[in-house]
């Protein structure tokens, strides 16, 4: 039966991720009501919009007039046990008399973690937890960071040669990786609330920092320009109904109406302010100076490194001096996945900072 639960949980994950931006700052959740006796899905429910019904309630409504006493509820996140914008889902599940509940992972909020499961068990409902737990946590990694740290989830994207260079000795950087890798980056942009770049990159390339995939939203733009060097006629500042945040120390300029200046002390301060303004995840596309600072300040969560089968020999490294003199002092990562992107290789890794 566990194999069947995993199959159903994969359906939950696929359905839940469709509403990534609509449910924020809530998690992405899908619930399935399953008849084990007849191997039949009775209904599916998805949390579709912040403030509206949770997935479990939608699945129950969709099921209609059904006897739930022999039914199993599959859900990728522990049913909530507290009153928020909607009533507790755990109470509704108990009221309907479900026989069994299968969950992917517990609620990461330390104030409510495991309380929903405890409620269900105390009511005599069988609970199976940890089904595809890693995949369920991966789906809601942004929510987990948001609810535990009150900070956005920060992903760094870099493109390097085999010898980890990002610019030739002659100053060229386009294009290091192939078309497939650049298309992959557009998907990454579509998955993030914000995209961050620095004044050096913007002045050198005058990028648009949009998502060029048809039907996908572009991330909100966050530009680091401490001293106000970038002219406001650059593409990143255009008025296109996408919010633009200018992280700066120069507040004496006349800012365009679509550009919000944000004064900041360091990246922790900046990201906390952005989180409070609804930027729940950030894709960083910038040069080595900002990346080096992010790592030193332990503010990057994950890195996507696209590696091209090219060697420059000389040129600019993708990261600067981290003041590491002993192996024991190095910054550690956990490899998550390695995949081919046509001629390139993509390495996904998560930073492991000491708590």
Measure CA 325 to chain center: 33
* Phi–psi pair at 262, nearest 5 degrees: -130, 110
Identify the pLDDT of residue 112.
79
Query: For the whole model, what pTM was predicted?
Result: 0.92
Identify the pLDDT of residue 355.
61
Identify the pLDDT of residue 294.
96
Active site residues: 56
Spans of all domains in the chain? 2-141, 150-352
- Cis amide bond preceding 25, omega within 30: yes
Identify the pLDDT of residue 84.
66
In this prediction, residues 21-37 reach a mean pLDDT of 95
- Cis amide bond preceding 345, omega within 30: no
Identify the pLDDT of residue 174.
86
Distance CA 176, CA 197 (A): 18
Residue pair 176/312 in contact (Cβ under 8 Å)? The answer is no
Q: State the helix-helix crossing angle for 55-63 and 89-96, rounded to 10 degrees.
A: 30
Q: CA angle, 227 as apex, 226 and 232 as ends, to 5°?
A: 95
- C-beta atoms surrounding 223 within 10 Å: 24
Identify the pLDDT of residue 131.
98
Residue pair 224/200 in contact (Cβ under 8 Å)? The answer is no
Burial class (CB in 10 A: 0-12, 13-18, 19+), 217: middle
| Contact partners, residue 170, CB within 8 Å, separation at least 6 | none
Distance CA 269, CA 85 (A): 29
146-175: pLDDT as tens digits: 999 999 999 999 999 999 999 999 988 889
Residue pair 272/152 in contact (Cβ under 8 Å)? The answer is no
Identify the pLDDT of residue 81.
83
Give, in words, the CATH class of 2-141: alpha beta
For the chain, the average pLDDT equals 94
Distance CA 203, CA 138 (A): 35
Length of the chain: 355
- C-beta atoms surrounding 167 within 10 Å: 21
Identify the pLDDT of residue 88.
86
CATH fold label, 150-352: Dihydrofolate Reductase, subunit A (3.40.430)
102-126: pLDDT as tens digits: 999 999 987 778 899 999 999 999 9
191-244: pLDDT as tens digits: 999 999 999 999 989 999 999 998 899 999 999 999 999 999 999 999 999 999
């Amino acid at each position: 039966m566990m194999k069947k639960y995993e199959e159903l949980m994969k359906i939950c994950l696929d359905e839940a991720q469709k509403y990534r931006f609509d449910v924020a700052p809530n998690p992405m959740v899908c619930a399935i009501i399953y008849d084990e006796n007849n191997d039949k899905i009775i209904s599916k429910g998805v949390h579709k919009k912040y403030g509206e019904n949770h997935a479990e309630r939608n699945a129950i409504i969709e099921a209609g007039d059904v006897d739930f006493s022999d039914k199993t509820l599959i859900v990728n996140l522990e049913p909530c046990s507290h009153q928020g914008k909607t009533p507790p889902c755990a109470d509704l599940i108990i009221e309907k008399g479900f026989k069994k509940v299968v969950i992917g992972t517990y609620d990461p909020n330390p104030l409510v973690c495991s309380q929903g499961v405890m409620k269900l068990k105390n009511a005599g409902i069988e609970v199976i937890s940890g089904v595809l737990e890693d995949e369920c946590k991966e789906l809601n990694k942004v929510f987990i960071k948001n609810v535990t740290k009150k900070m956005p989830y920060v992903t760094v994207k870099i493109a390097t040669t085999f010898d980890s260079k990002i610019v030739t000795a002659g100053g060229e950087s386009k294009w290091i990786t192939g078309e497939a890798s650049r298309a992959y980056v557009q998907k990454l942009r579509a998955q993030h609330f914000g995209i961050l770049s620095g004044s050096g990159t913007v002045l050198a390339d005058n990028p648009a920092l949009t998502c060029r995939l048809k039907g996908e939203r572009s991330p909100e733009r966050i530009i680091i320009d401490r001293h106000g060097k970038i002219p406001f006629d650059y593409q990143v500042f255009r008025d296109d109904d996408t919010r633009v945040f200018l992280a700066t120390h120069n507040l004496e300029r006349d800012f365009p109406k679509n550009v919000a200046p944000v004064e900041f002390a360091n990246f922790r301060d900046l990201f906390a302010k952005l989180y409070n303004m609804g930027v729940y995840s950030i894709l960083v596309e910038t040069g080595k100076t900002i990346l080096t600072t992010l790592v030193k300040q332990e503010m990057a969560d994950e890195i996507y490194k696209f590696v091209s089968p090219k060697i420059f020999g000389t040129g600019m490294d993708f990261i600067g001096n981290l003041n590491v003199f002993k192996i024991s002092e190095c910054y550690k990562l956990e490899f998550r996945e390695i995949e081919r992107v046509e001629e390139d290789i993509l390495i996904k890794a998560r930073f492991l900072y000491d708590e």
